Structure 1
């Protein structure tokens, strides 16, 4: 007796993992300029000197994390061959949804000896976590590079970026050397830092610009050669996925997602080769899925603000001022049985952040002495998709997770 899977005997994928987000390519394509800037910024490590701090900027999907991991691996290998270089330790933390205490605790637990008890979740504070961290860094000695992905999402970046770079000058460290690599999707992140932090960092800045269609084709051709069986893809699929992504935001991750989902569409149709027709059909699926992920990455109250503007948009009440948004936001929070934030300033903060992330269009108004200076906001997305996604999130779709506050 045949089962429901018995007729599935072929696939156009040779290695589907090559098209997954977590895949780390052995060779980085179309980022020679950024790699060269990175190489120069990290060269002091090879000679046993204090590492330079580095800040990486660019929208999601432009290769910031992939290039950083590639450079960390390459630096680690090179240090092994250099007599002047100290032992190198690389610590990586994604800051999305984490407090400063959580980041410090994560770092401490990563480098504690195996026989030691974990740093507790409760009972001790952030200062205690940093004190323990410095003790463990001194125990190990050597050079420590801290890679903070999505550093703009941490609740107190000023303290983090002031504490670690000044650890030696403040006599917390003698033997260990410390360098910071911050990765941010927010080009204006540095402006939010305090003057003393900016003076302390003295960092090298590397900006990742969007890929063009030709660069995306190079990346996709490389992935496709390993991802598909022979004859499993047509060059028209590569061109279509690259063109769509380039017209949007030049996002390599989006282009790769289009190619993967297009191939899934082809298999569902019983086709043995992915073509531009399948990529066109995949476009809506990918856009909806990527928007869903972007929304779920936001904190709950940021999502409530986003939903509030989407509701105002559907009612034809945008562009809207922050006071209008706050009134609807309170309704949204109560509808999901959550207590709303109580200050207009907190709502304005979420509006500003969501604008910088590309969710909103912001309109500056200046009506002089009578009307004053203020901003109005409207959604830069399809309101119906935002509201559908929010509904799915609140109804507990297990495939989607959301950070806390």
Structure 2
């Protein structure tokens, strides 16, 4: 008998537990889908359509809802002879400027038409914008530009100013560009430049975290499709839902927890999945979640984390936000990236604290020094370096931090905790 054998007793079809799975219907988002439908209705009516921005933490249904709505919109638009609709989808996960987003949009359009892509360097920003306008005008009609994880562009928001004004400025004649921005950062709009805020004229749709009952409703049909009959104990789906609701309210987390529990049962040659597998899976995923939480930080979040890691490597922690901010601005200068205010850096630190990545200590020294906070990593420095080293933009800085930590013998002791 071979080392690997096909599972016959746990999983019937694991596809519904995959991150890429697109369900036939969207559960527990009726209000959000109704707002989404109203915002997209002008496309079918062949009239100007507002830009749409979706806000919510990871796993709250923004992307899957967008795919669901656009799928129906495209199908319905095809039944009208006078509606010309195209959609272009770009993930901004590794894009940190309007220039890079514009290049990505141009190349996404050209790839769909089997045309030669443009280089990612060597053009002025205005030249790339002009190429983008030409490509959009050639498409004509309404073109919906989906910018997933748009918060990664930070303060480089020129594209959010240029696209909405392209028609009124005479850059395009035959097309109506519509932006759908998807952001994990509820405060993203607050940090846009005033001219962008005035120009966007967007509809906002908020996707709050799911509660346990909503997660159970989402999980149940996936569980029924994914596992053989009678395999799941009655408490498995409710427990997966409860764990995810207590933590992040993320459907993605609940689904991954269910899948991990099934894989543990399979690995242990169990005939069923019980509460024990769910609890073991939760413990395993908590470790992985910290790593994913660091990976999913924005460029600004990574810069703040990098600054804290640097002070950690020098054993200069806990550190006050004012001192940390000084290091953060130097990191941004080295990366040729815009820096944000010290208040915004504290917001990023607060987010990282909620993710369990850092510890925050509050001090109150009365009238002499007042109240202030100090920060240090709450995860191994090696884990932070793994994330920074895997991000091209931060690799050189991570190498410096790693070397500094190694000189101080920090990594050897750190490894014992990782």
| Partner residue, 1:307 | 309
1:48 to 34, 46, 54: 46
Number of residue pairs aligned between Structure 1 and Structure 2: 385
Q: Say whether 1:353 aligns with 2:310.
A: no
Provide the C-alpha distance between the structure 2 equivalents of 1:28 and 1:216, rounded to a whole number of angstroms.
12
Q: Does the C-alpha gap of structure 1 residues 296 and 249 become closer, same or farther in structure 2, counting only changes over 3 Å?
A: closer
| Partner residue, 1:193 | 192
- Give the secondary structure class of the aligned counterpart of 2:383: helix
| Partner residue, 1:321 | 321
Q: Does the C-alpha gap of structure 1 residues 306 and 323 become closer, same or farther in structure 2, counting only changes over 3 Å?
A: closer
Task: Describe how 1:148-227 pairs up with structure 2 within 5 A.
Answer: 148-227=147-226
| Partner residue, 1:285 | 284
| Partner residue, 2:233 | 234
Equivalent residues of 1:97, 1:403 under 8 A apart: no
- Give the secondary structure class of the aligned counterpart of 2:157: helix
Q: Spell out, residue by residue over 1:24-80, the C-alpha distance to the aligned partner (whole angstroms, 9 max, x if none).
A: 112111100100000011110001112211111111110111101111111111111
Q: Does the C-alpha gap of structure 1 residues 264 and 353 become closer, same or farther in structure 2, counting only changes over 3 Å?
A: same
Deviation at 1:355, TM superposition (A): 3.1
- Give the secondary structure class of the aligned counterpart of 1:404: helix
Q: Does the C-alpha gap of structure 1 residues 377 and 205 become closer, same or farther in structure 2, counting only changes over 3 Å?
A: farther
Provide the C-alpha distance between the structure 1 equivalents of 2:54 and 2:336, rounded to a whole number of angstroms.
34
- Of stretches 339-348 and 240-249 in structure 1, the one that deviates more from structure 2 is 339-348
Provide the C-alpha distance between the structure 2 equivalents of 1:109 and 1:118, rounded to a whole number of angstroms.
5
Q: Does the C-alpha gap of structure 1 residues 310 and 264 become closer, same or farther in structure 2, counting only changes over 3 Å?
A: farther
Provide the C-alpha distance between the structure 2 equivalents of 1:275 and 1:302, rounded to a whole number of angstroms.
41
Provide the C-alpha distance between the structure 2 equivalents of 1:209 and 1:166, rounded to a whole number of angstroms.
31
Deviation at 1:238, TM superposition (A): 0.3
Equivalent residues of 1:234, 1:275 under 8 A apart: yes
| Partner residue, 2:375 | 378
Provide the C-alpha distance between the structure 2 equivalents of 1:202 and 1:306, rounded to a whole number of angstroms.
37
- Give the secondary structure class of the aligned counterpart of 2:179: strand
Q: Say whether 1:142 aligns with 2:144.
A: no
Q: Does the C-alpha gap of structure 1 residues 257 and 73 become closer, same or farther in structure 2, counting only changes over 3 Å?
A: same
| Partner residue, 2:402 | none
Equivalent residues of 2:7, 2:266 under 8 A apart: no
Q: Say whether 1:91 aligns with 2:88.
A: yes
Provide the C-alpha distance between the structure 1 equivalents of 2:55 and 2:142, rounded to a whole number of angstroms.
24
1:404 to 381, 393, 417: 393
Provide TM-score, normalisation by structure 2.
Answer: 0.81
| Partner residue, 2:403 | none
- Gaps spanning 5+ residues in structure 2: where? 395-418
- Give the secondary structure class of the aligned counterpart of 1:112: helix
Equivalent residues of 1:308, 1:328 under 8 A apart: no
| Partner residue, 1:102 | 100
